[in-house]
Each structure stands twice: as structure tokens, then as C-alpha cells.
Structure 1
Amino acid sequence: MPPQRRIDVVFDSVKRLQRIGATANLVNLLQKQHPADLADVFASLPDRNRRSVFDTLLDHNSRLAMESLAELEPEVGAAMLVDHPPDRLALLFQDLPSDDAAALLDNLPDDLSTSVIDLMRKKESGEVQHLLEYDDQTAGRIMNPNVFALAEDLTVGQAIEELQRSREVEMVFYLYVVDARRHLVGVVSLRRLLLVSPETPLKRVMTSDLISARVDTDQEEIAREVAAYNLLAIPVVDDENKLVGIITVDDVID
């Protein structure tokens, strides 16, 4: 079945199951869907039905519900959250990537957004507040600050061990290399690491000529570079060329 036809079938089924009050069947159907497909379903529902279906999923699978919400336009997603108390929102936002949380919080009423940030764990709220300091539609606002980086003095074998231990790898197709002061000095693909001897110095296999974005780069410019160079991700650096985040292709085509 073509993807769009499948989404249409899911959409019709969601409406029918909601109308007859078949909650268990509705939850079962929703939990079988990909977050991006659920976002399409949510976007097509009338506002009242959208909130009801989302809340039903939220009560049974909060992670999937929030992942789906992050696929929507931030103002649409935020509108689905405004009736929830700050303490619950704080718990939900803590499981989202910082860039997605920042986008949603930026579209909540100011008093609610402030309350949620105050209630979030210190680390997560600090990251979100930091992203909100950047101008809207810039690299700094949409980046994920939890970017994995490899030290330039590692061997390939040590780099692979670091990767295996890390829990903060969003995009493993590109592995960024930094010096002792976290200046961005190169990039290497995972495939390249797997094809050379573990004893090979990382400096020998990395590429030092790479495309990056400054934190104040406009989102549209980043989208053009991603399209022009067929990139899956782009690193973000500050004015000292220190690696501060990563933007993946889905962040700039929202």
C-alpha cells in the first residue's frame, strides 16, 4: 500500500474508533504507527479531536506521543499541550531532545513556559534556556547541543570504543573531531572507521575540509547547504569555531 494511502486508512480508522469510544483499539492502532505518520494524522484532525486523540496516546505511551508532537509545527504541537499542568509538562519535556523542547516551549504562553522550565531537571532546563537565548530561525535555536565528538589524538580503535560507550549520538553517519579546546578540526564517517586498521591515528583518516554553520546562521541558509551538498547533518560552531551542536536534516525541513 502506498504510504499516503496507508496514512489515509489510519486517519479514517482513528476517527471511527474515537467516535465509537473504542479506546483500547484506538491505542493499539496508534502505538503501531511511526511518529512522523502520527504527526500527519494529528495535523489532519480537527483541533478538538486532535487533542483528544493525542491525550489518549499520551496516557498510554507518553514517549511516542511526544515524539509525534515534535514532528508537528511547534505552534500546533504547543497548542495540544496548553491544558496540561506544568509539572506534567516538565516530565514530558525532559525526555525530548533539547531543540524540540525549546521549539515547543517557545510557543507556549510565557507564564506556562517559565513554570515548566523551573520544574525541569537542572541540566535539561539549562540546555533549553540556552537554546532560547538564540534568535528564532537560527542554527543556535534549532540545534541539538548534545553532539558527540571525538578527540583528535585518538586511534581509530579508541574512537570506535568511545562511540560504543556514548549515549548521546544522534547522527552516527558523521563523527566530528575536536582538539583539546573543542575546536572543530575534522569529520570522519563511521564507514571509514570500520574500513581501516584500529591502530590508525584518527587524524590520518579524518577530513579537515568540512562544512559547518555558526550559531547565528539563518535556518534557510542551512537548509540550502544541506540540499546543495546532500548532507544528513551539519555541525554548529560558535565564534571561536568550538563545536556546540548539531543540526540534522529533519531539523531544517520541518
Structure 2
Amino acid sequence: MSVGEVCNREVIIIDKDGSIREAAGLMRKYHVGDVVIVEEKNKKRFPVGILTDRDIVLELIALDVDINAVTVGDVMSFELITAREEDDVMETIKRMRHKGVRRIPVVNDQGSLEGILAVDDLIDLLAKQLTDLAGLVMGGTAAGRRKMPVTLSTQRHASC
């Protein structure tokens, strides 16, 4: 399965000059834990950083930094890890674990932003797959349940 098949296409973005208050407001409004910082070139958005709610709390509030004195561009993650739409989901999960990131912007072949892949989305996907698998173990398919007793009862009668 590819990253492009499962990523969220609704990405909350902000530019480098945005304020921390604006970024936090976007996170609250859209119920997300991050904003992707983008630069626009030729009407395409290219991700250059990411800012999370955790970054705001640990790097600004906990250190008593005046949030009016810094911009999103000052505190965003500069070592941005991205995934391409055609990347394999399992390989991307391994990269995310190795780098210690919970969210990863998804880009197309030209490097412009297409979506975001978050651990929460992956957990939802895996939970659905496990539910389907459990359904197979617990009850099989309706067609399988109908066929099996008929076949077994026919074989028993034939041998009597």
C-alpha cells in the first residue's frame, strides 16, 4: 500500500512569517497537532518545516519565551522528513520510527505538498485491518458458513 493511498489530503499550512498565536489558532480550529510551513513557488506549495503543538509547549511556553518575539519560521523543525506519494506505507512507518516523528508531509514527484501522514491515521488504518482479520477468524464469510455444512452433510449421507 502506498503513502498516497492513506495520507490525509487536508493539510493545515502556514508561511514562515506566521505568528505562533496564528499557528496555535489554526491547530485549535482544525483539531490538528501540527501545521506545515510552506513556501509558494509557481502556485505550488513546497514544505520547508513543520511546527507541532508539542514544539510550542516544550520549546516556547516551558522556556518562557515571548511568543510575540518569534515567528513560526524561527521555531519550526528545519530537518523536515517527507514521504513521496508512491512510498510504501510500512517502509515509511520504519523511517518515521527511526527519525522519531509522528507526522510526515507527503509530496509529489516535484516536491510539492500533497498531504500528511500521521501516526493517528496509521493506527486507524491498522485497527480497521485488524477488525477485518478478526472477522475472518471469528466467523469466516457467510458464503463459507452456508457451503460447509451442506458439503459435510452430503458426504456423511453418501458414506452411510
TM-score (norm: length of structure 1)? 0.41
State the distance in 2 between where 1:140 and 1:184 align: 16
Give the superposition deviation at 1:252: 4.1
Give the superposition deviation at 1:223: 1.8
| Bigger strand fraction | 2
Counterpart position of 1:146: 10
Where do 1:154-193 residues align within 5 Å? 154-164=18-28, 166-167=29-30, 169-170=31-32, 172=33, 174-180=34-40, 181-193=44-56
Percent of aligned pairs with the same amino acid: 28
State the distance in 2 between where 1:237 and 1:215 align: 6
1:69-106 Cα offsets, whole Å, 9 max, x none, are xxxxxxxxxxxxxxxxxxxxxxxxxxxxxxxxxxxxxx
1:233 pairs with one of 90, 97, 103: 103
State the distance in 1 between where 2:90 and 2:80 align: 19
Structure 2 residue 75 is matched with structure 1 residue 205? yes
State the distance in 2 between where 1:230 and 1:207 align: 13
State the distance in 2 between where 1:212 and 1:240 align: 12
Using CA pairs below 8 Å that are at least 6 residues apart, which structure has the higher relative contact order? 2
| Structure 1 residues without counterparts, runs of 5 or longer | 1-136
1:207-248 Cα offsets, whole Å, 9 max, x none, are 221111011111121121122223222211112222211112
Q: Is the 8 A contact 1:158 1:198 kept in 2?
A: no
Q: Which protein shows a greater Rg?
A: 2
Q: Is the 8 A contact 1:222 1:252 kept in 2?
A: no
Give the superposition deviation at 1:197: 2.2
Divergent runs of 4+, >3 A: 250-253
| Structure 2 residues without counterparts, runs of 5 or longer | 127-160
Provide the aligned C-alpha RMSD in A: 2.1
State the distance in 2 between where 1:192 and 1:220 align: 26
1:220 pairs with one of 70, 82, 90: 90
State the distance in 2 between where 1:143 and 1:191 align: 21
Give the superposition deviation at 1:141: 0.5
One-letter identity of the residue aligned with 1:178: V
Q: Is the 8 A contact 2:15 2:73 kept in 1?
A: no
One-letter identity of the residue aligned with 2:55: R
Count of residues in Structure 1 that have an aligned counterpart in Structure 2: 114
Rate the CA distance shift 1:252–1:204 in 2: closer, same or farther, 3 A.
same
